[in-house]
Structure 1
Amino acid sequence: MATRKSRARGLVPVTAVGLGLAAGALAALAAQRHMLDALRTRLDQLEASAQDQRHTNLAHQQRLHWELLSKAIDSPELAEVLDIFEAPASPQERRQYLFANALYTNLLFYYRIGNLSREEFHGRMRGLLQNPVVRKYWYATQGQRATLPDDSDEAGLGRMVDELLHQLEEADIDEWWVVGEPPVE
């Protein structure tokens, strides 16, 4: 019997060591899980900060774009620098095209920062395209849009506007606001 007791006593410390190791492993896993959660939270914060910085950069770029266009609109001499349209444009047409460009670019920036959905962009462009000057501007800048990378947001939106303009010109109704299928998000 004494032998049995010594075997039973030997199992108790081994079991206690096993439980201790398991508890230590669980504690290490819990600490690791806590650290991973903290890292995930920090990564989310950094991504949000990067998105905010991107929006700030786009807003700054839009402001600079408008300042440059304003100078060109106010000065025929400066507007000549931006005369890169398909067909020759008079000084008045050039100023109108520059303003149409400002309107389009404003919508583009709104879309890029998430203030407009693709469907809303489509609807706003449908309204702008009711103006004959905006239509002429759109045709006069085809060559510029052709240089955009095919997979860029701007190229995709440009193709969408091209299709919308085609549909508007082909439509045989006065209700322009129903022409063209809004894009699927």
Structure 2
Amino acid sequence: MATRKSWARGLAPVAAAGLGLAAGALAALAAQRHTLDALRARLDHLEAAAQEQRHTNLAHQQRLHWELLSKAIDSPELAEVLDIFETPASPQRRRQYLFANALYTNALFYYRIGNISREEFFGYVRGLLQNPVVREYWHATQGQRATITEGSDEAELGRMIDDLLRQLEEADVEEWWVVGEPPEAQM
């Protein structure tokens, strides 16, 4: 019996050491978890701030774009600087193209900042394309769109509009609002 008691007495310190080790490991894991949660919260905050800054930058750029286009629309001399269309345009047509560009750019901006969905952008552009001047503008700027970085939002949206315009021109229906498949419905 003395042997059994001595063996049990020797096991008690080992068990206590094991429990201490386990408790220490749990405490370390809890501290790591707390640190990771704090880092994740900080990262989320920084990502939100970066997104907000991108939106601010886009808004500033949109405002500047409109100011420049407004000057060109109001001044035929300044509008000549922006006459980079596929076919020569009269001063009146050039101003109309510049305004069509402002409408398109505004919709693109709204899409980029998340104020409208891709499907809403599609519907808005489908309505814009009912105007013959907007259609003419879109054809006249084909070369400019060819220089847009492949895979960018603007390049993808441009291809979507090209396809929609082709469908609208081929359609033999007066109900233009049913022509084309909205982007989400295509998947």
TM-score range normalised by the length of the shorter chain: over 0.9
Matches within 5 A, 1:76-115: 76-115=76-115
SS in 1 for 2:183: coil
Find the counterpart in structure 2 of residue 127 from structure 1.
127
> CA shift at 1:6, angstroms?
3.3
Distance 1:146 1:55 in 2: 26
Distance 1:13 1:152 in 2: 66
Find the counterpart in structure 2 of residue 9 from structure 1.
9
Alignment-mate amino acid for residue 20 of structure 1: G
Matches within 5 A, 1:32-51: 32-51=32-51
In the alignment, structure 2 segments of 5+ residues that lack a partner are none
Post-superposition Cα deviations, 1:80-126, rounded to whole Å, max 9, x if no partner, equal: 11010000011111111000000000001111111111111110001
Distance 2:97 2:132 in 1: 11
SS in 2 for 1:12: helix
> CA shift at 1:44, angstroms?
1.1
Distance 1:18 1:142 in 2: 74
Distance 1:182 1:89 in 2: 32
Matched, 1:75 2:88: no
Distance 1:150 1:15 in 2: 65
SS in 2 for 1:86: coil
TM-score (norm 2): 0.95
SS in 2 for 1:154: helix
Alignment-mate amino acid for residue 134 of structure 1: V
> CA shift at 1:76, angstroms?
0.9
Distance 2:24 2:154 in 1: 56
Distance 1:158 1:85 in 2: 16
> CA shift at 1:5, angstroms?
3.3
> CA shift at 1:171, angstroms?
1.1
SS in 1 for 2:116: coil
TM-score (norm 1): 0.96
> CA shift at 1:164, angstroms?
0.8
SS in 2 for 1:105: helix
SS in 2 for 1:160: helix
Distance 1:157 1:4 in 2: 82
SS in 2 for 1:115: coil
Distance 1:163 1:2 in 2: 92
Aligned length: 185
> CA shift at 1:181, angstroms?
1.1
Distance 1:66 1:123 in 2: 23
SS in 1 for 2:69: helix
Find the counterpart in structure 1 of residue 160 from structure 2.
160
> CA shift at 1:142, angstroms?
0.4
Distance 1:164 1:93 in 2: 23
Flag as ranges the 4+ runs of structure 1 deviating above 6 A: none
